[in-house]
Structure 1
């Protein structure tokens, strides 16, 4: 399905009809922020009827200029921010990797996995297996007992990604996930994405620019508050 935005601000589109192949569908999403502009506060629109869909086993890139609303749309999709109008439909489990890692400085990598595993309601055996696999796949097992505030930027990015990957969710929403990765880790990242796509998992990657377009099934550009497939 094409992720184009054809909705006017005064006639929001209805939710998309159910489709077993569609894991995510955002329709007619509007969002504005209040900004102080002399002589009084004004509403500054960021999203103006953006539509976006994600099919099962699909890898989609979301790009746009700074301030185009990429992170705003991502936060709306995961429920971290309320839209002013529009609908979001999710099917299956969700993993979210924010642009800025949300971690506890005094907790080690192992303790983060334990904490998040409990939140995901994973069994002890499943958590142990998934954690060891992620350490190996992303290459940071030697930092298992290291506190987050002592990690390098690249290793912190690995932990941030690992926490989203931990429960092997149906949908992965990743906001600038490989910022700070070296080349080896970048290649490992795409290996993980390919493995999950082969199992029918879906991935949405937000980035300022797309370098390897062949790795994506579709590229969606946010422009003038709307989303356009290219």
Structure 2
């Protein structure tokens, strides 16, 4: 269920590098309990926009306002192959200041990953590492979740579990932003945007089972 007040508000965000403009006045409201997708080609400005939303990069112009705790699931996860899944969870437990790992274990179960808690990451598949990446982004129960290419390495069953989890998060009032070069099952999204040459525009999802660019 959505509220009329945005939890993430982006207004006229611009960013340029030496090669020229990357973002050209991007504006977007993300509401609690809303599932939004942004698709775009490589070089369209997706990574730059995500870095700005996560606070890793300052825009040249424009405003980003976030009201609530943010969770981010980057495409290139900060994971160490020498450590186990549970060791990663405990590191992030300390970083987030959590009293327990109950929420993390619940998420592992939802993603069918409980059997790998004691396994080192170096022996796990890319899909399993991506599951952990997602759990680390969610274990502190954020109000806003930013996902960069979240389907990477997922098999079909995990892909379906991902969408089930996304729906559960939406029902809990979490605002979810999925950024990818493609968006399968576009009908699952509340709103779908396309980022093209730094310009963000809403897409018509009618009759689309999947969108690629």
Q: Same fold (TM over 0.5)?
A: yes
CA contact (8 A) 1:50 1:226 kept: yes
- 1:177 paired residue number: 150
- One of 47, 63, 74 as aligned partner of 1:87: 63
Map 1:76-225 → 2, pairs under 5 A: 76-124=52-100, 127=101, 129-225=102-198
How far apart are the structure 2 equivalents of 1:155 and 1:204?
Answer: 21
How far apart are the structure 2 equivalents of 1:141 and 1:152?
Answer: 15
Larger radius of gyration: 1
Shift of 1:101: 1.3
- 1:67 paired residue number: 43
Q: Secondary structure at the match of 2:183?
A: coil
How far apart are the structure 2 equivalents of 1:51 and 1:156?
Answer: 33
Q: Secondary structure at the match of 1:203?
A: strand
Shift of 1:192: 0.8
What is the number of equivalent residue pairs in this alignment? 201
Q: Secondary structure at the match of 1:60?
A: strand
- One of 33, 50, 69 as aligned partner of 2:17: 33
CA 1:118–1:20 in 2, change beyond 3 Å: closer, same or farther?
farther
Shift of 1:149: 2.3
Shift of 1:178: 1.3
Shift of 1:49: 1.1
Q: Secondary structure at the match of 1:22?
A: coil
CA contact (8 A) 2:146 2:178 kept: yes
How far apart are the structure 2 equivalents of 1:114 and 1:197?
Answer: 26
- 1:39 paired residue number: none
Q: Secondary structure at the match of 1:46?
A: strand
Mark the runs of 5 or more structure 1 residues left unpaired by the alignment.
1-18, 35-42
CA contact (8 A) 2:104 2:136 kept: no
How far apart are the structure 2 equivalents of 1:20 and 1:209?
Answer: 28
- 1:13 paired residue number: none
- 2:27 paired residue number: 51
- 2:200 paired residue number: 227
Shift of 1:44: 2.0
CA contact (8 A) 1:221 1:228 kept: yes
How far apart are the structure 2 equivalents of 1:226 and 1:50?
Answer: 6
**TM-score normalised by L of structure 2:** 0.90
Shift of 1:20: 6.2
CA RMSD for the aligned pairs?
1.4
